[in-house]
A and B are shown apart, each in its own frame.
Chain A
Amino acid sequence: MSRRTTAPTQPWLKPGVFAGAIVPLLALLVRARGGDLGANPIAEALNELGLMALVFLLASLACTPLKALFGWVWPIRLRRMLGLFAFFYAFLHALTYAALDQRWNLRAVLTDVTKRGFIALGFVAFLLLSPLAATSSAFAVRRLGFVRWKRLHRLTYVAGVLAVLHFLWRVKLDLSEPLVYSFTLALLFVARLFAGPSAFRSPRA
């Protein structure tokens, strides 16, 4: 069977990941409709959306090390979409907090952001992701120039660290779950160091 050269390779990859990535949101909406989010549905939605934002952020940070370590190209093709999903879930997380948890009481939100360390960290992480989402198009890369664009998008690492600290700090006592994500992030940093900067100069051609 000869593959047509004009057709994209793995045309199922991006749509497949996209469809899978919205599953947690759909599941959340279905459960919310059925009154199936437990006794404290707002807290449940808040926690699930926040966790998804963190998972996608880490997944987007994993693409480059995966390519460097194993020579896979497919993660790079997913990177932008994963990053945008991180922003998408972070946005829904922030919106749930402001609209449902705090009922648009902006004074309470402001007090929280300025007085509570863990909320401030999450807020800054979300702010950092916004310009990255805004400059995710190929057009923006061209406009900024690749070097400047790349420098700007290094903010992802900062956002990743802040997001993990936001999770760690929030927990009452049992740190095991946030620690799993912290170690994953640390591992991704180590992988970058281990693979060496040369591996990340793109494209390798």
Chain B
Amino acid sequence: MDEPDSSDLTPEALYPERREFVKNAALFAATSVGVGGTLLSLLGRGHRAGAASDQARLDVAGRSDFSIDEPRTPWADVTAYNNFYEFGVGKGDPAQAAHKLQTRPWTVSIEGEVHKPRVVDIDEVLRLFPLEERVYRMRCVEAWSMVIPWVGLPLAALLKRFEPTSRARYVELTTLLDPTQIPLQRGNLLPWPYVEALRMDEAMHPLTILAAGLYGRVLPNQNGAPLRLVVPWKYGFKGVKSIVKIRLTEEQPATTWNSALPQEYGFYANVNPTVDHPRWSQASERRIGELDRRPTLPFNGYAEQVAGLYAGMDLRRNF
């Protein structure tokens, strides 16, 4: 072998210094990677949701006149930024965890103050009523908003079919309670199952829908499949997801967020820029995808259609 001995290249006196340098460089690298990695691990990661093409197409009969003409929030944002505490409190958690939910077979029980109480199969519901596209603003109580092309049916159409009695004054809608599929329901973060309710006139209002899809596709689980409530003039938390029970009542039902934190979340939860949340302002909102804040509109921009429902009511008290 003809290789030069390393001693020919480096004066012997420099050995220790070079070795020291290499050692220090290695320790520097290890420290920075260790510190940087630890810090990154403390920060939560967002998750990506699946593509729209993963979801089956729905038969959409047409586009409703109630649709608004504003740029739609992209599918990726609508399906990866969700509040669905049954599947985690992080915005990306539901997209990650909700795939475990089995949405077939699925039934919805219509009960209480109706002449024809029944348990209906979800596919029957979707066959009985023509599905329309409704492009609505969605304003979260956390002061962000989206524009979502829902596909659904008017709640009024469904309720009428089961013939509410004259005593029916409220409609209570309940999410599935099944800790085997929804492990967080074993904990008591909120009193499970999630329950929301509307006054009868709110439930019968033509803007109020049960959504089964978005962007013409079957609703992804994290958005509340197979059936969820959409009330566009109210804060998003009123939109109870993965509904299994619709009960008509004489008395005002106890609702989840209102029971948990009554001083922060009212029963009505109408979008109202003049009534702040105790911890943050509701005067403006960030539309997802935009950098500037926009002013929040009374009843989320649906005042013309719904303000009459609350004539004479003190909306500061009934927030």
Chain A positions within 8 Å of B, measured between CB atoms, are 1-3, 7, 10-13, 15-21, 23-24, 27, 36-40, 42-44, 48, 51-52, 55, 100-103, 105, 108, 111-112, 115-118, 169-170, 172-174
Determine if A1 and B16 form an interchain contact, defined as CB atoms under 8 angstroms apart: yes
> 30 A-B pairs, CB-CB below 8 angstroms?
A1-B16, A1-B20, A2-B16, A12-B27, A16-B31, A16-B32, A19-B31, A19-B32, A20-B36, A24-B39, A24-B40, A24-B43, A39-B77, A39-B289, A40-B81, A42-B291, A52-B39, A55-B42, A100-B291, A101-B286, A103-B291, A111-B281, A112-B281, A115-B276, A116-B281, A118-B279, A169-B279, A172-B142, A173-B85, A174-B85
B-side contacts of A105, CB under 8 Å: 293
Q: Which residue of A lies closest to B30 (CB)?
A: A16
B156 to chain A, nearest CB (A): 31
Q: Tell me whether A103 and B279 are in contact (CB under 8 A).
A: no
Is the CB–CB distance between B40 and A173 below 8 Å? Answer: no
**Contact between A40 and B260, CB atoms less than 8 A apart:** no
Q: Which residues of A contact B16 (CB under 8 A)?
A: 1-2
A12 touches B288 (CB 8 A): no
Measured between beta carbons, the chain A residues less than 8 angstroms from B37 are: 20, 23
Chain B residue with the shortest CB-CB distance to A52: B39
In the bound complex, what is the Cα–Cα distance between A169 and B276 (angstroms)? 16
Q: Out of A42, A55, A115, A173, name the residue touching B286 (CB < 8 Å).
A: A42
**A-B residue pairs, 4 tightest by C-beta:** A20-B35, A16-B31, A23-B36, A39-B81
What residues on B are CB-neighbors of A12 within 8 Å? 24-25, 27-28, 31
CB within 8 Å of A: which residues of B?
16, 19-20, 24-25, 27-40, 42-43, 46, 73, 76-77, 80-81, 85, 89, 91-92, 142, 144, 189-190, 260-261, 276, 279-281, 283-284, 286, 288-289, 291-293
Nearest-CB distance from B157 to chain A (Å)?
32
A102 with B77: in contact, given A17-B31, A20-B34, A48-B43 (CB under 8 Å)?
no
Q: How far is the CB of A169 from chain B (nearest CB, A)?
A: 7
- Cβ-closest chain B residue relative to A23: B36
Smallest CB gap from A36: residue in B: B46
Complex: A23 Cα to B31 Cα, angstroms: 12
